[in-house]
């Protein structure tokens, strides 16, 4: 297909496609003349992945380029490819400097121990030991520390129900990703679903709280 058809089928403007080509995010097409090239289905799949990384995942172009390089690295398995894309998604980096320097305040240090206890209770060993989800771990520690500082429940018994629900969600997420047969589509889905389903989870939680409050406290209002 020519670039105009590639643009039409992908929904990506030709100017953006040319930009992705210049930045090395999209492989060059097959040259047919000095000024024209043709593109195949693999270019269409790559465009969808690039859009998922940059537009949905809000990755900088340089980060997307690194992720795409990891995806194409045949020396790593599919698990590592998925992980490289998810780890590159933006996270709250407020605790990064403290973790790197090792200067954690008392509440944060206690929160880290509590998070580790939670992982042990859930039987989660890979993410913590490998650093595969280090950014998410730091966000979790910061959230637990915030609960502790404000005096709200954050003991293991309080966190464990959330951890068990998250364990089930992890299975659901990967099951959904596996609906896509092509490895590139799976990485695209992992990025898009991670970003787009987080507001779904937040909204459903708030709706569920309203339902439960109504069950417990409503007098027919």
Indicate left, alpha or beta for 11 from its phi (over 0: left) and psi (-120 to 50: alpha). Answer: left
pLDDT digits (tens, 9 = 90+) for 68-78: 887 777 787 88
Average pLDDT across the chain, whole number? 85
pLDDT digits (tens, 9 = 90+) for 18-51: 999 999 999 899 988 888 899 999 899 889 888 8
Q: Residues with Cβ < 8 Å from 61, sequence gap 6 or more? A: 23, 25, 54
- List every span in the chain annotated with CATH 1.10.1660.10: 3-87
Q: Are 66 and 88 in contact (CB under 8 A)?
A: yes
Assigned CATH topology for domain 3-87: Multidrug-efflux Transporter Regulator; Chain: A; Domain 2 (1.10.1660)
Q: For position 144, what pLDDT does the model report?
A: 93
What element of type H or E holds 129?
A: helix 126-130
Per the document, the length of the chain is 221
CA gap 90, 70 in Å, rounded: 17
Mean pLDDT of 95-110: 67
Q: Are 56 and 103 in contact (CB under 8 A)?
A: no
CA gap 36, 41 in Å, rounded: 17
Question: Tokens in use for 144?
Answer: 């637990």
Q: Report the candidate in 2, 61, 40, 38 with the shortest Cα–Cα distance to residue 184.
A: 40
> What percent of the chain has a predicted confidence (pLDDT) above 90?
46
Q: Name the phi and psi angles at 57, rounded to 5.
A: -80, -10
Q: Are 84 and 71 in contact (CB under 8 A)?
A: yes
First to last CA, the chain: 61
Higher pLDDT, 206 or 136: 206
SS3 state of residue 35: coil
The structure tokens 């339902």 sit at: 211
Question: Tokens in use for 91?
Answer: 């996270």
Candidate from 100-109, 167-176, 182-191, 193-202 with smallest mean pLDDT: 100-109
Q: Has residue 106 got a pLDDT over 90?
A: no
């Amino acid at each position: 297909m020519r670039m105009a058809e590639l643009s039409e089928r992908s929904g990506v403007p030709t100017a953006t496609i040319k930009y992705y080509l210049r930045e090395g995010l999209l492989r060059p097409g097959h040259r047919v003349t000095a000024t024209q090239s043709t593109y195949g289905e693999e270019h269409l799949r790559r465009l969808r992945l690039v859009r998922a990384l940059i537009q949905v995942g809000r990755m900088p172009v340089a980060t997307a380029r690194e992720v795409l390089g990891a995806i194409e690295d045949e020396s790593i398995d599919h698990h590592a490819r998925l992980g490289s894309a998810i780890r590159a998604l933006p996270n709250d980096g407020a605790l990064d400097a403290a973790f790197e320097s090792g200067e954690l305040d008392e509440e944060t240090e206690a929160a880290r121990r509590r998070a580790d206890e939670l992982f042990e209770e859930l039987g989660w060993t890979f993410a913590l030991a490998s650093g595969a989800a280090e950014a998410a771990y730091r966000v979790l520690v910061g959230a637990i520390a915030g609960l502790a500082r404000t005096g709200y429940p954050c003991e293991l018994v309080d966190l464990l129900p959330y951890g068990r629900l998250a364990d089930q969600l992890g299975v659901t997420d990967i099951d959904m990703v596996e609906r896509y047969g092509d490895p590139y589509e799976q990485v695209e889905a992992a990025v898009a679903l991670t970003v787009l389903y987080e507001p779904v989870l937040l909204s459903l939680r708030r709706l569920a709280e309203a339902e439960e409050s109504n069950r417990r406290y409503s007098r027919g209002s």
